[in-house]
Amino acid sequence: MITIDSVIKTYGETTVVDAVSLELPDSGVTSIIGPNGAGKSTLLSIVSRILGADAGVVSVEGLDVFHSPSREVAKKLSILRQDQHTTARITVRELVEFGRYPHSHGRLTAECHAAVASALEYCDLADLVDRPIHQLSGGQRQRAYVAMVLAQDTRYVLLDEPLNNLDMVHATGLMRLLRSLADERGKSVVLVLHDINYASAYSDRIVAMRDAKVVVDGPPASVITPDALESVYGMPFRVHDLDGERVASYYR
Ligand SMILES: Nc1ncnc2c1ncn2[C@@H]1O[C@H](COP(=O)(O)OP(=O)(O)O)[C@@H](O)[C@H]1O
Ligand SMILES: [Mg+2]
């Protein structure tokens, strides 16, 4: 379990994470939704130690994230950042091999090679392994970064807007893959999504943030409702039951 206890982050006068307490389970798919600027990325960055907090404690299976060696944290938790990019001239395979760094420190073991091969295959990158990443389309590059995170092979996999740049084929493919990571490999997948219908279809739990706080938290059936969604986004929604799945519409 990841325990987030009373975490506060302020920039000048503005509090962007306001005493958030949240427990993230050790398996399953948890989606974080909410409008731009709600604090979602800041919270994930704090949990993964990219960013310090002004107050509060985060622990991953009892390991205090703020006071543990980054290598120990990186064996338990991986993150795909929203603004992930590299200027290095490396190939897809080399990028994915970086995911093994916390385990190998640069010397790839047989286990590392197996994890890299599995991540490349999972992300449909077989034809692109030797391509330099700066020559890929946005969506192809996004899949390469996801593969890097998968190669790290941690129990907790955090992804900040992983569907960015993906067409619906690859978006659906990635959501299926994340679901299977939870179901078949027992991982805890925590991801920030803007598409609430993907969140509805694939999550065990949806956490909604607004104005630096968690405002709604529960299974899709309790979050994908007109009232809950309006309280998160401040605009009207219609919600339909489609073969037992909740689908929200909000285009007009
Ligand atoms: N480095 C920064 N300096 C000042 N304000 C920031 C910084 N990073 C983020 N913010 C502000 O914090 C708030 C939350 O940002 P963020 O966590 O990125 O939101 P979300 O991911 O939910 O869209 C926003 O109002 C944003 O402008
Ligand atoms: Mg964000």
Q: Please tell me if the CB atom of residue 20 comes closer than 6 angstroms to any atom of ligand 1.
A: no
CA 95, CA 198: separation in Å to the nearest integer?
27
Whether the model pTM is above 0.85? yes
CA of 244 to the centre of ligand 2 (A): 30
- What is the 16 CA–ligand 1 centroid distance (Å)? 7
Crossing angle between the packed helical segments 138-152 and 168-185, to the nearest 10 degrees: 10
- Per mean pLDDT, which range of 20-29, 120-129, 200-209 is the poorest? 120-129
Number of H helices, E strands in the chain: 10, 12
Structure tokens at 36: 């731009």
**Residues with Cβ < 8 Å from 165, sequence gap 6 or more?**
137, 138, 139, 141, 142
210 lines ligand 1 (CB under 6 A): no
The residue written with tokens 């205090």 in the block is 64
Q: Which of the ligands is closest to the CA of residue 43?
A: 1
| Residue 103 φ/ψ, nearest 5 degrees | -90, -40
Dist. CA 149–CA 157, nearest whole Å: 7
Q: What is the pLDDT of residues 12-42, one digit of tens each?
A: 999 999 999 999 999 999 999 999 999 999 9
List, in order of start, the domains of the chain with CATH numbers. Answer: 2-249 (3.40.50.300)
What lies within 8 Å, CB to CB, of 118 at 6+ separation is 150, 151
Regarding the beta carbon of 63 and ligand 1, being less than 6 Å apart is answered no
Probe target for ligand 1 pocket from 42, 50, 215, with the most ligand atoms within 8 Å of CB: 42
- What are 57-96's pLDDT values in tens digits? 999 999 999 999 988 999 999 999 987 777 778 999 999 9
